[in-house]
């Protein structure tokens, strides 16, 4: 639980907690039919749950996120990844809402994943960890919400892969969510998106230190492959405009000799830094599993059946895209919105102007924040959340 020890708008010092939600006697049954236990989940909460348990907002993180969405762990200069959006007086207002933010199943920041110990062997799972789906992620989320005393959420919010989880949640459990916020999301990856992830996975698996996914006990990690995967992915998160403004064709070190294969341009140095810093916080196997989850997500594949399922959905949606996001461009959002509208689901759509590409959902873009704040204020009124 957070303590409001920081300045206005900051949650201050927060704590990550862990809980075992599935056990050998009560395992997580995956879409594949495989059973997984134990399943431990790392999570953070901010704000206070009201007496009726109706003011909860669930945060679903993107591919490389974690439970630490807001506040800080001792260094105010290193806040959570969505600290711009979550906190007192911010769009996800913790003076009004009780916010739940877990690390995903298959992750590497405290929740059971490929790096966890496999029962019966005492060794990390590696690639023996079962493949899972977005629906499986939602099963774990629901169990955590119930553990915290929440049966119906005021809202669930997520960007990119996070938005996929929110959509799946509303489809699978139509009475669970009063509202869903889908930001930079997609209901179906394009061939280009799948291709980017395929190359990233190949970079990891062809690294000489990958060892078939069993690198944990070797003292080696597929660092080259994971660095390359992150560098390539990061290019897709930025827009051409933002890269031009930030780097242009500027040289990193004007005194260095030209015509070499080292790091010459500022953009090269930036991408190298992003790749190397990523090694400190992410596991290569988790990257493989979570990118594959996104590839297979296709809830409207059987459109007639999906439209029937949507008839039962009572969730109202806000769908947000950004005009410079080319990884999940506005067409992804519009395709999603059209299906929801065809089924008679309440949905509001906004395309926001931003120079920052896909990463815009993590940044302080004023119109984006106003849109989220206004939507959640309406949700609070409809759900009876006290001011």
Q: Which of 10, 101, 116, 160 is catalytic?
A: 160
160 is annotated as an active-site residue: yes
Write the DSSP symbol of residue 20: E
Q: Is 207 a catalytic residue?
A: no
Q: Which residues pair with 183 in a beta bridge?
A: 159, 320
Residue 365 three-state SS: coil
What is 40-96 written as a DSSP string? EEEEEEES---TTS--EEEEE--TT--S--SSBSS-TTS--TTTTTEETTSSEETTT
Rounded CA separation 326/332 (Å) = 10
Q: Which residue has the tokens 């409207």?
A: 300
Alpha-carbon torsion (319, 320, 326, 328), positive or negative: negative
The residue annotated as part of the active site, out of 66, 83, 176, 325, is: 325
For 300, phi and psi rounded to 5 degrees? Answer: -105, 20
Residue 325 among the catalytic residues:
yes
- CA-nearest of 314, 373, 324, 369 to 347 is 314
Distance from C-alpha of 154 to C-alpha of 177, rounded to nearest angstrom: 6
- Do residues 167 and 180 lie in contact, with contact meaning Cβ atoms separated by under 8 Å? yes
| Residue appearing with tokens 């959640």 | 376
Which one of the listed residues 116, 141, 358, 360 is annotated catalytic? Answer: 358
Task: Pinpoint the alpha helices (H) of 222-265.
Answer: 223-237, 240-246
For the beta carbon of residue 94, count every other beta carbon within 10 angstroms. 23
Positions marked catalytic: 160, 325, 358
């Amino acid at each position: 639980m957070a303590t409001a020890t920081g300045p206005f708008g900051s949650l201050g010092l927060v704590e990550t907690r862990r809980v075992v939600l599935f056990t050998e006697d009560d395992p997580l049954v995956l879409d594949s039919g495989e059973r997984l236990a134990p399943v431990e989940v790392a999570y953070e909460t901010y704000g206070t749950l009201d007496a009726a348990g109706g003011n909860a907002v669930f945060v679903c993180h993107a591919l490389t996120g974690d439970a630490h969405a807001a506040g800080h762990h001792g260094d105010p200069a290193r806040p959570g990844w969505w600290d711009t959006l979550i906190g007192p007086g911010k769009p996800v207002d913790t003076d009004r809402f009780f916010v739940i933010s877990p690390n995903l199943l298959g992750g590497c920041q405290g929740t059971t994943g490929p790096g966890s110990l496999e029962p019966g062997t005492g060794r990390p799972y590696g690639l023996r960890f079962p493949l899972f789906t977005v629906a499986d992620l939602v099963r774990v989320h629901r169990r955590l919400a119930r553990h915290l005393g929440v049966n119906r959420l005021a809202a669930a919010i997520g960007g990119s892969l996070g938005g996929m989880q929110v959509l799946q949640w509303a489809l699978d459990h139509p009475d669970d969510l009063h509202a869903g916020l889908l930001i930079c999301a997609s209901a179906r990856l394009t061939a280009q998106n799948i291709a980017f992830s395929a190359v990233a996975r190949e970079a990891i698996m062809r690294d000489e230190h990958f060892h078939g996914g069993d690198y944990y006990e070797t003292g080696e990690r597929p660092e080259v492959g994971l660095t390359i995967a992150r560098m390539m992915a990061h290019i897709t998160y930025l827009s051409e405009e933002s890269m031009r403004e930030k780097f242009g064709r500027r040289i990193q070190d004007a005194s260095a000799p030209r015509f070499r294969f080292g790091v010459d341009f500022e953009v090269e140095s930036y991408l190298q830094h992003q790749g190397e810093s990523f090694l400190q916080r992410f596991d290569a196997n988790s990257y493989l599993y979570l990118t594959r989850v996104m590839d297979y997500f296709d809830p409207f594949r059987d459109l007639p059946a999906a439209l029937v399922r949507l008839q039962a959905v009572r969730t109202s949606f806000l769908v947000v895209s950004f005009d410079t996001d080319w990884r999940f461009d506005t067409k992804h959002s519009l395709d999603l919105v059209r299906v929801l509208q065809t089924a008679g689901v309440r949905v509001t759509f906004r395309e926001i102007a931003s120079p920052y590409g896909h990463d815009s959902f993590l940044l302080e873009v004023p119109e984006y924040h106003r849109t989220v704040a206004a939507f959640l204020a309406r949700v609070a009124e409809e759900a009876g959340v006290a001011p």
